[in-house]
Amino acid sequence: MSDSVELSTVDLRILRLLQNDARISNKDLAAEVGVAPSTCLDRVNRLRELGVIIGQRAEVDAAKLGRPLEALLFVQVRPHRRALVDSFVEHLLALPEVRAVYHLTGPDDFLAHVATASATELQRLVLDELTARDEVARVHTNLVFQHWSGGPLLPPG
């Protein structure tokens, strides 16, 4: 089963431009893709209604907010059951250090991307917020030296 939707070349150009600059004005966006501003606005609204565009956000530099140490925490929980998974994810997302959470297959159940003020704070986070929980069987921590983001996400082909 596929949730994909049919997108025109104009829709794809709109998506590419919005992913690179979500603050572009509708007038400038319409000019870039070669349609009238009203048509452009209708297409953007349609993409929102279809769930293709799911939001806009500001990208923030964690280091400039006093959280220069980023890490990836690979977490194994036991038992791996729905009720436990849901409450564990809620716990993680409530922590201010957590930037993203992924539910995985393989030896680890979760990957949490975190940003902390220091190694001491990272240690506190792991010991007090993760391994102190009964369901957490193991945490493997990798520090992030640097990261790069990919380009706009468009359909295959």
Q: State yes or no: pLDDT of 111 exceeds 50.
A: yes
Percentage of the residues of the chain whose pLDDT score is greater than 90: 85
Q: What is the DSSP-derived secondary structure letter of residue 126? A: I
Which pLDDT belongs to residue 155?
Answer: 84
Mean pLDDT of 126-145: 97
Residue 131 has pLDDT above 50, yes or no: yes
Are the CB atoms for 15 and 46 separated by under 8 Å? no
Residue 94 has a pLDDT of 98
Mean predicted confidence (pLDDT) in 136-143: 98
Q: CB of 51 within 8 A of CB of 25? A: no
Query: What does the pLDDT read at residue 1?
Result: 42
User: Does residue 36 have a pLDDT over 60?
Assistant: yes
Tell me the helices (H) and strands (E) count for the chain, helix number first: 5, 4
Report d(CA 139, CA 92) in Å as an integer. 13
What the chain holds in terms of domains, given with CATH numbers, is: 7-48 (1.10.10.10), 60-142 (3.30.70.920)
